[in-house]
Structure formats: structure tokens, C-alpha cells
Amino acid sequence: MSTWIKLLRDKLPQGRTLVFGIPFFWLLLFFLLPFALVLKISFSAAIIAVPPYQPVFSYVNDTFNIILNFGNYLFLFSDSLYVAAYWGSIKIAFISTLVCLLIGYPMAYAMAKAPLQLQLVLLLLIMLPSWTSFLIRVYAWMGILSNQGLLNQFLLWLGVIKEPLRLMNTNFAVVLGIVYAYLPFMILPLYANLVKLDRTLLEAASDLGSRQINTFWTVTLPLSKGGIIAGSMLVFIPAVGEFVIPELLGGPDTLMIGKVLWEEFFNNRDWPVASALAIIMLALLIIPITLFHRYQAKELEKNG
Amino acid sequence: MARFKVSFSTLMLILGLLFLYIPMAILIFYSFNASRLVTVWAGFSTHWYVELFRDQQLLSAVWMSLRIAFYSATMAVCIGTLAAFVMTRFRRFRGRTVLSSMITAPLVMPEVITGLSLLLLFVHMAQIIGWPADRGMMTIWIAHTTFCSAYVAVVVSTRLREVDLSIEEAAMDLGATPFKTFFLITIPVITPALISGWLLAFTLSLDDLVIASFVSGPGATTLPMVVFSSVRLGVSPKINALATLIILAVSLIAFIAWYLMRRAEEKRRQMIQE
């Protein structure tokens, strides 16, 4: 036993490297490197073969050839469909994020103010839906929003409307689906932020004669900026690339880039165009991702 | 004024919770509907549950998904914990920024991008080193492990930051190696976080449709893929029955986890008082 420990002690410097190396190289290989390959394939051309793209680098007759095909990018910018899809995605993701924030902030605020025991129960209630199947939660709205769906039946019964509204397969349904699916991800960072808020600051403000609504705007809201950014990015970034929700709840006029990419890849088998779509999406999202990273890194490195 | 504001946020909380739970309640309610039409009530029936358990394709997809989720969660806990340990315990080192961005980026990365990029990696690997020859369970496992590790790292690092460093330092002062300290002191202290990280990774893996669709081959069909192809065709009471079972299972596990954590918390508080 002691020799075993001694052996380990001798290997200590390597131990440190190993602890760092395993997660580092796993993520490097399976997360970072693949992006370089997407970039490479976005400069390729689609052919009918396995895999269905032309090699970018080749070594023939003692010459190393690099064939870069900018056609995919030119094609994407020349076709208004793709530009519209990017714009549509950003618009829908933005509206959904805003709605999530408007619903989620008061909810997180109320949670942070609740008694401690109740807070734990509420936290569980908020997180529980996000643990059940995402697909199933989106599916739940299909039965509610359809023409003969429950919402229409209910509104007809109330007498608010004379004939069924077209709710399903609209952009409204997509926004509703995104808000429903992503709301917990907005609430959790907001709650984590608001619950740590220094109460004495609020007391100081009120002692100095600030009205409560005023204190909220000038003290609480600015201090919860970190939570707002984290929550908004957790909703906005995945929503831009969302595929399942526009596919199930959206209609033919719902243009979202995640769905377009999926169709290019699976239906048209055009891997290079799908890659170019992904690269442009990443370029659009790089600022939001950096914002999120900065907040998250601060959280990760903070010593409690 | 004060009263109004409190009641406004409380009201929003109640409405928000109703918004989150009513669709699921409706889903459960209609799973006991005798009619094939989901929105027309035709009497109580457990017919769709029987139907569900007769569906061989679905059952084998469930088994496939459970196995992948188990392996992915286990591996993700190993990698995520190491990453969290590095981020919270190692002060300055080269590659820190790279590692921390590789931990946070998967949390928000759109799934279509992750899926496509991993598929291209597997295709290239197959061309260059001949592995993986077939895409299927193995490639889904790698893909799920990668994005689940990020979630585990976040959960575990939150706990690691709260741990009293002086205990670890005391152990090392008394002659324990960092290795021994890690296994005898750190691991037991962060066990609750490891369990919740594992459970989170398990549910994330079980739930993933998009990434698995990209990296899977013809041999491996997971539960979300079966559900998706059925749901695409419209609403079906069988899916409602399946949804009910999933919601039930998740609630049960969540309740048990919550109960155990509460008991552990109470015990700890008692011990501190004594």
C-alpha cells in the first residue's frame, strides 16, 4: 500500500497534468476541433459521394492542392431565403427572450423574497419542467393550439370568438413554444442573482427616503444586470438555432435558420451549404456567446 | 405601494407556474382518453398505455436511450468534475481561458451547430484513422458526454467553491497526497453535487434529439427520434401516454432527490449545532 502511495507521490507532477489534460483534450477534440472542420467543409462543394463533399486539401502528383470554394457563401448571400431565415431567427429569438424576461423577472423576484423553505420548493417546481422531455413539452402545445384545439374550444365556449383562430403553424405559436420551453433557463440565473442581493442596500435606500418603486429601478435592477444577461443569453442563443419548435409549431412562413440548416443537411444532403450556414450563424452569435462567457467565467472563478 | 408590488410579483409567480404546468396537466389528462382524437373526450381508458407497451420499436428505443444516457452521464461526471476542479483549484495556468470557454460555450451553443460539427469530426476520423467505422451508440455517447460535461462542470464547480478549503489544506499538512486528499476529502464533500450533476446529465442525454440525429447511424434509434417522427405526423394519444410516464418518472426522481438533499441538509445543520 505504502509503495503504491509512494509511486503516486513520485508521479505527482504528471498527476496535475493529467487532471488538467483529460478534460482539456476531450473538449479540444470533441468541441473545438469540430468547428475547424465545419469551416473547412463550408469551403467545399457538394458532390454525390460518401461523404458528400469534395475534398478541400488533396495531394496529387507531388503537389499539395487546396481548393477553396466560396460559392456556398456567395449563394447564401444571393438567395433572399437564407437572409430572411437569419433575420427571422434573430427576430423570433429576440421577441421570445424579451417575453421570457418580462415573465421571468417578476417570478424570480417573488421567489427570492419567499421564505427559505418555500424557496426550495419553488426552485424545484421551476426546474422540474426542464427535466422532463423538451420534445414532449413542445408537443403539449400542438393539442392546445390546433384549430379544434382546447384553446379554440375554450374561446368559442366563452363566446369571445365566432370561429376558430389560426394559432397553430404561426410565428405566434413558435414564440409561445420558445417562451414555454426556455422560461426556466431565464428564471434560474435571475433567481440566483436576486437571492444574493444585499438587503442592507435596499434598506439604506428606503431609509434615505427612496420609494420602493424607485429603489427597484435604481438599486435592484442595476445590481441584477449579471442575472439578466446570463438568463437572456441562455434563451436567445439556443433559440436562434432552434429546430424542434419551428418544425413542430411553425408554419410554412416561419423561416428559422436551424430548420433551414436541418433541411439542407438531411433533405438536400448538401453538407457544404449546411456548414456555411452554421459558420455564419456562429459569426452572428459570437458577441452574445462572449457576453455569456464573460458572465459565466466570473461565476466560475469567483471564490465563495 | 409596497403591498401592490409584492402582490404583483407573487401574482406573476403563480400565473407563471400555472403556465408551466397546465399544458402538462392537459397532456396527462388526455392520455386516459378513449378516443383517438386527442381533443375530444370519450371516456376513461388505459388503452393507450397497453398500446405503448406493445410497441416493440418504441421499447427498444427506450432501452437504447437509457443505456446511452447512463454511460454519457457517468463519463460526463468524470470529465466535468475534473474540469471543475481545475477551474476552481488551479490558480494560473496556460490554457485556462481556452478551457473555461470550452466549458461555458456548450451550454448555449445551438444544437444544430454542435451536431453538424461532431458529425464532420466523426466522418474525418473515420477517413483518417478508420475509427469510428460505424456511427451509432458510440458516437452518440461521445457527443452527449461532451455537452453534458459542461453542465456537470457548472454544477460541481458551484459546490467546490463553497467547500471549506482549510479541510483540504489540513489533510495535506498532515501528509496526505493531493490525490488522497481529493478522494478522501473532496469527493465525499461534493457527493451531492456529483449526484445532481449525474442526474442532470442523464436527463439531458435522454432528451436530446438534434445532436443524436446528426451523429447517429442507421443502427441506433433513440427515444426522442421515435417520438419526433411520430409527433411530426400530428397528435397521438400514445405519445400522451408516454409523456405521462416520463413526467411521472421525472417527478418521482426529483422528489426523492429533493427529499434526500433536505434530509442531508438537516443532518448537517444538527451536526453543526452539536
Which pLDDT does position B46 carry in this prediction? 86
- Pull the grid cell for residue B68: 446511452
B135 part of a folded domain: yes
Q: A101 lies in a domain?
A: yes
Q: CATH number for the domain including B190?
A: 1.10.3720.10
Has residue B231 got a pLDDT over 70?
Answer: yes
Comparing CB atoms, the residue among A9, A143, A248 nearest residue B39 is A143
What are the helix and strand counts (H, E) for chain B?
12, 0
Distance CA A91, CA A103 (A): 18
ipTM of the complex: 0.89
- Measured between beta carbons, which residues in chain B are less than 8 angstroms from residue A141? 23
- In a domain, residue B8? The reply is no
B7 has a chain A CB within 8 A of its CB = no
Q: Is residue A161 domain-resident?
A: yes
Kindly state the percentage of chain A with pLDDT values over 70: 94
Do the domain assignments include residue A77? yes
pLDDT > 70? residue A301: no
The pLDDT confidence band at residue A16, using thresholds 50, 70 and 90, is confident
In a domain, A245, yes or no: yes
Q: Which of residues 92-111 of B touch A (CB under 8 A)?
A: 93, 95, 98-111
Whole-angstrom distance, CA of residue A205 vs CA of residue A200: 8
Question: What are the pLDDT digits (tens) for A242-300?
Answer: 999 999 999 888 899 999 999 999 999 999 999 999 999 999 999 999 999 988 877 76
Judge whether residue B1 has pLDDT over 50: no
Cα torsion angle, B62, B67, B70, B72, sign: negative
Q: Is residue B215 part of a domain?
A: yes
Measured CA to CA, the distance from residue A49 to residue B117 in angstroms comes to 19
Does the beta-carbon distance from A244 to B23 stay under 8 Å? no
* Tens digit of each residue's pLDDT (9 = 90 or more) over B64-115: 999 999 999 999 999 999 999 988 888 777 788 888 889 889 999 999 999 9
- The residue assigned the cell 402582490 is B7
Quick check: A38 and B123 in contact, CB under 8 A? no
Mutate to test the interface with A, among B87, B97, B113 (most CBs of A within 10 A): B113
Whether the predicted pLDDT of A31 surpasses 50:
yes
- Distance, CA of A301 to CA of B97 (rounded, Å): 11
Chain B 48-77, CB below 8 Å of chain A: which residues?
A: none
Whether the CB of B264 is below 8 Å from some CB of chain A: the reply is no
Pairwise CA distance, residues A281 & A79, whole Å: 16
The verdict on residue A7 lying in a domain is no
Please tell me the total count of domains within chain B.
Answer: 1
A contacts of B110 (beta carbons < 8 Å): 237-238, 240-242, 258, 281, 285
Residue A229: domain span:
71-301
Please report whether residue A205 resides in a domain.
yes
Which residues of chain B are within 8 Å of residue A211 when distances are taken between CB atoms?
A: 1
Any domain includes A55: no
Residue in B111, B251, B262 closest to A241 by CB: B111
Q: Which residues 104-143 of B are in CB contact (within 8 Å) with A? A: 104-114, 116-118, 120-121, 123-124, 127, 142-143
Residue A64 is predicted with a pLDDT of: 85
Q: What is the pLDDT of residues A102-160, one digit of tens each?
A: 999 999 999 998 998 899 889 989 988 888 888 999 999 998 998 888 888 888 888 88
In a domain, B81, yes or no: yes
Q: How many domains does chain A have?
A: 1
B258 touches chain A (CB under 8 A): yes
- Answer whether residue B6 is part of any domain: no
Confidence of residue B274 (pLDDT cuts 50, 70, 90): low
Quote the domain boundaries for residue B222: 63-234
Determine the pLDDT at residue A146.
Answer: 86
What's the CATH number where A247 sits?
1.10.3720.10
Q: What percentage of chain B carries pLDDT values higher than 70?
A: 96
- Distance between CA atoms of B190 and B197, rounded to whole angstroms? 10
The pTM (predicted TM-score) of the whole model is: 0.90
A286 in any annotated domain: yes
Looking at residue A304, its pLDDT comes to 42
- The reported pLDDT for the residue numbered A4 is 65
B163-173 mean pLDDT? 85
pLDDT higher than 60, residue A1: no
